[in-house]
């Protein structure tokens, strides 16, 4: 019955769970190289760069027809892969009736599939066991984005990619997929993976506000600005009763670190896709500051899932060489090149 009182009673679950850490998990491979000032001559540097280029020369693009894994049909219960993107800002667009809409611009980076972990293996790992404790296990696709110079990373980290023959990526992410949506390693994922009008979930780390007081962090009202208030303008006030339990309850709202937490924004609609620059415009806002990395995947919300088959398992450019339409707009949006709206 406590939900009836949630206005004046603090919810004290999850109070002891640590919400953020500065160190990565213990099973993470050490990533960044301790850069020593190596005095290499410019000729040798050039040679090293040539070797890197030769080693990681562009592979021919994977066609939809020659997928290793047998192509499976899409069904409403399929979970497709997601995509790593960067939130590059917010742009205003207008709908066909003149209503202004705030859209977030997401730039899909150079994503490549690194590895597929089949359901049986993933269910044995620590995280997989937790996630699939009472459910049927699903597979996991590891996707990487933003290729970088191998010099920056440790050998262990580069080895994750060298088996596949890719330049090491700055960012890795895991996406839970059903076995029929599996992609072979080295498959590129682009903005065409998504469909106009579909709903997506965007997962990112919120803006880091640092150590914040109780007014900004929890929305407390503080005290009066004048009328004789002595040193009580933005403070919390009382933190407990005297009698009941005679201590401060865990979960008591107090000043502390605010932000830099992982959050989902569910059910955001895709209103525009630019295939040339690999950019998606999503209606609404997304967790995290500008230029931060987010993960986008098909929505979990049951009423906004696909009714028709999307590009499954992902989008491949047409094999007859025809270029896709560069800029695709949702039917509800006003295209900028079209005549002004007359109501």
Partner 1 sequence: MLRRAVLQTFRQGLAQSFFKRNAVSLSETTVTHQPIETSDEADEKSVSKQKPGDESGNTVVVAPPEFRFMYPEFLPDPAMERRNRLKEKLERIDMLQRRSVVEIPEFYTGSVMAVTVADANSPNKFARFVGICIQRGGSGLRAWFILRNVVDKQGVEILYEMYCPLIQKIEVLRLERRLDESLLYLRDALPEYSTFPLDMEPERRLNNSVVPINPLKVKLRPRPWLERWERQNLQGVEDLNLPQRFYDKAEKVAKPWEKYDLMLQYRKTIPAEEQEKIFADVHSQLQQQEFKRKIRRRRGIDNEQ
Q: Is 291 in the site for partner 1 (CB under 8 A)?
A: yes
* Binding region for partner 1 (CB under 8 A) out of 143-151, 170-178, 272-280, 298-306: 272-280
Q: Is 13 in the site for partner 1 (CB under 8 A)?
A: no
Nearer to partner 1, 70 or 97 (CB): 97
Q: Which helix (H) or strand (E) holds 44?
A: helix 42-55
φ/ψ (deg, to 5) at 65: -75, -25
Q: Is 274 in the site for partner 1 (CB under 8 A)?
A: yes
Is residue 73 a contact partner of residue 188, using CB atoms and an 8 Å limit? no
Q: Is 32 in the site for partner 1 (CB under 8 A)?
A: no
Q: Least distance in Å: CB of 159 to partner 1?
A: 32
Long-range residue pairs from 70-73, CB within 8 A, at least 24 positions apart, any chain: 72/179, 72/180, 72/181, 73/180, 73/312
Q: Which of 91, 108, 98 is nearest to 283 (CA)?
A: 91
Nearer to partner 1, 241 or 338 (CB): 338
Nearer to partner 1, 88 or 215 (CB): 88
Residue by residue, DSSP assigns 275-321 as TTTTEEEEES--SS-TTEEEEEEE---GGGS-SS--SSS-----TT-
The strand ranges marked E within the chain are 83-94, 100-108, 111-117, 139-147, 169-177, 188-189, 199-205, 210-212, 256-258, 262-274, 279-283, 292-298, 327-329
Among 52, 88, 131, 142, binds partner 1 (CB under 8 A): 88
Nearer to partner 1, 229 or 335 (CB): 335
Is residue 250 a contact partner of residue 12, using CB atoms and an 8 Å limit? yes
Nearer to partner 1, 309 or 335 (CB): 335
Residues binding partner 1: what is the number (CB under 8 A)?
25
Among 100, 227, 231, 243, binds partner 1 (CB under 8 A): 100
Q: Is 249 in the site for partner 1 (CB under 8 A)?
A: no
Nearer to partner 1, 180 or 278 (CB): 278
Tokens 């959050």 locate to 263
* CA angle, 134 then 183 then 52, to 5°: 125
Q: Is 279 in the site for partner 1 (CB under 8 A)?
A: yes
Is residue 204 a contact partner of residue 263, using CB atoms and an 8 Å limit? yes
Among 92, 133, 136, 221, binds partner 1 (CB under 8 A): 92
Helix (H, G, I), strand (E, B) or coil at 79: coil
Q: Is 325 in the site for partner 1 (CB under 8 A)?
A: no
Q: Is 339 in the site for partner 1 (CB under 8 A)?
A: yes
* CA angle, 12 then 13 then 14, to 5°: 120
Nearer to partner 1, 131 or 328 (CB): 328
Q: Least distance in Å: CB of 107 to partner 1?
A: 6
* Binding region for partner 1 (CB under 8 A) out of 30-38, 91-99, 158-166, 213-221: 91-99
Q: Is 338 in the site for partner 1 (CB under 8 A)?
A: yes
Nearer to partner 1, 56 or 94 (CB): 94
* Binding region for partner 1 (CB under 8 A) out of 30-38, 211-219, 253-261, 271-279: 271-279
Dist. CA 300–CA 79, nearest whole Å: 9
Tokens 């980290």 locate to 157
Query: Could you list the residues that contact partner 1 (CB under 8 A)?
Result: 88-89, 91-94, 98, 100, 105, 107, 274, 277, 279, 289-291, 334, 336-343
């Amino acid at each position: 019955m406590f939900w009836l009182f949630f206005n004046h009673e603090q919810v004290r679950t999850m109070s002891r769970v640590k919400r953020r850490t500065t160190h990565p998990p213990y099973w993470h491979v050490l990533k960044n190289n301790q850069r020593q000032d190596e005095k290499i001559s410019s000729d040798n540097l050039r040679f090293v760069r040539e070797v890197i280029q030769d080693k990681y020369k562009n592979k021919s693009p994977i066609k939809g027809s020659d997928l290793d894994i047998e192509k499976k049909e899409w069904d409403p219960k399929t979970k497709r892969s997601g995509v790593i993107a960067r939130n590059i800002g917010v742009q205003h667009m207008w709908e066909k009736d003149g209503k202004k809409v705030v859209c977030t611009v997401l730039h899909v980076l150079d994503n490549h599939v690194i590895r597929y972990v089949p359901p049986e293996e993933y269910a044995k790992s620590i995280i997989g066991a937790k996630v699939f404790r009472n459910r049927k296990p699903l597979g996991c696709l590891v996707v990487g984005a933003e290729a970088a110079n191998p010099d920056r990373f440790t050998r262990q980290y580069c080895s994750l990619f060298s088996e596949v023959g890719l330049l090491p990526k700055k960012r890795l992410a895991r996406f839970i997929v059903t076995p029929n949506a599996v992609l072979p390693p080295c498959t590129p994922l682009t903005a065409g993976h998504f469909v106009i009008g579909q709903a997506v979930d965007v997962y990112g780390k919120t803006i880091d506000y640092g150590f914040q007081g109780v007014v900004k962090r929890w929305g407390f009202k503080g005290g009066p600005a004048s009328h004789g208030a002595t040193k009580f303008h933005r403070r919390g006030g009382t933190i407990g009763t005297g009698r009941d339990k005679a201590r401060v309850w865990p979960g008591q709202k107090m000043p502390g670190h605010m932000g830099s937490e992982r959050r989902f924004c569910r059910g955001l609609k895709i209103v525009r896709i630019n295939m040339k620059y690999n950019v998606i415009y999503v209606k609404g806002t997304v967790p995290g500051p500008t230029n931060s990395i987010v993960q986008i995947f098909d929505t979990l919300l049951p009423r906004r899932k696909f009714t028709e088959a999307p590009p499954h398992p992902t989008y491949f450019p047409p094999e007859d060489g025809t270029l896709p339409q560069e800029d695709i707009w949702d039917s509800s949006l006003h295209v900028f090149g079209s005549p002004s709206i007359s109501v």
